[in-house]
Amino acid sequence: MESVTRTIFNAHLQTSRELSKPFTVLPNSTLNQKFNLFPNEVTNINEYPNLGYIGIGNKGASYEVTETGYILTTPIPHSPKHASLYNFIPFVVRDINNDLSSNERLKYRMRVPLMVGGTQYVAYYLRTLDLANVIPGVELRNVNNGTITTNSFEPSLSDLSPIPIDISNVNLNNPNGDYLASTAKVLFTLNQQDITEILNACDLLFGDPRYAVINEIALCTGLDKVLQGTFGNSNSNYTDVIVTQVAAFISQYHALTANTTQVQIELDIGSVESLLL
């Protein structure tokens, strides 16, 4: 089962939005500051960042080789106060004179200039999520000895007239039980060209395409804004993201050298609450 850690930054954003209070970005919390990309841009009054971006990293797991030669993988958890992946890997790295076209750039964000071996490059560290067809729902999930069954949930008439719950004082740490989940399921797909770009980026930055292992994922909030960047020998406007914060960390494992045709990353953007029954 994948591990999901929601950040305090997303909780702060949600609280500000629900109370219709101005959103104040906490210091040392944005990816813009980490990558030194428009770090001083702020939101307008009554303007809130939205969830809509994804980043990937390759230091979200540890590995152990057993005496019999098996490789055991263990996810490295994130803390709710972490503001970044352990190690971002870019979706694309291009020579500044061979940058993405304006049309190709539409699905990328966090365009960061960097120097490699005396050559100027630009790296794109975030992708946009296509949320146009996402339909939020509510599910009732039952966990029984590690097996999860899921059904759609609708409140009953009795929920409008609740009675106190009799809380058991035994089996307090029992992982089995029922859980309510507010769900919004998103399928993020990397096609063959996307994977090739990541392999090339890792080969350039780390010296070996085998570094292209996705074992930590960041779901991010932010605001699109038209900004000015350097493209070749000239400056021009383009769309990038500001006040970008990690909303949640997700632990998955995808070795791209073994999946060069297509990788599908299933995401469930929502929250889960245990039920006292």
As a whole number, mean pLDDT of residues 224-230 equals: 93
b/e map 104-138, b = 16+ CB within 10 Å? ebebbbbbbeeeeeeeebbbbbbbbbeeeeeeeee
Predicted confidence (pLDDT) per residue in 228-276, tens digit? 998 888 889 999 999 999 999 999 999 999 999 999 998 887 776 555 5
Predicted confidence (pLDDT) per residue in 13-72, tens digit? 999 999 999 999 999 999 999 999 999 999 988 899 999 999 999 999 998 999 998 989
Q: How much is the pTM?
A: 0.90
Looking at per-residue pLDDT, the higher value among 169 and 220 belongs to: 220
- Is the model's pLDDT at 205 over the cut of 90? yes
The answer to whether the beta carbons of residues 56 and 267 sit under 8 Å apart is: no
- What are the residue boundaries of the structural domains of the chain, listed by start? 3-131+192-266
Tokens describing residue 257? 């050298």
Predicted confidence (pLDDT) per residue in 64-105, tens digit? 999 998 989 999 999 999 999 999 999 999 999 999 999 999
- Residue 54: partners with Cβ closer than 8 Å, 6 or more residues away: 126, 127, 128, 129, 188, 217, 218, 219, 220, 265, 267
- Is the model's pLDDT at 183 over the cut of 90? no
The pLDDT assigned to 277 comes to 44
The pLDDT assigned to 263 comes to 95
The answer to whether the beta carbons of residues 100 and 94 sit under 8 Å apart is: yes
Predicted confidence (pLDDT) per residue in 154-175, tens digit? 999 999 999 887 776 665 556 6
The pLDDT assigned to 101 comes to 94
Tokens describing residue 72? 């055991």
pLDDT band at residue 4 using 50, 70 and 90 as cut-offs: confident
pLDDT band at residue 123 using 50, 70 and 90 as cut-offs: very high
The pLDDT assigned to 1 comes to 45
pLDDT band at residue 181 using 50, 70 and 90 as cut-offs: confident
- Is the model's pLDDT at 116 over the cut of 90? yes
The pLDDT assigned to 83 comes to 98
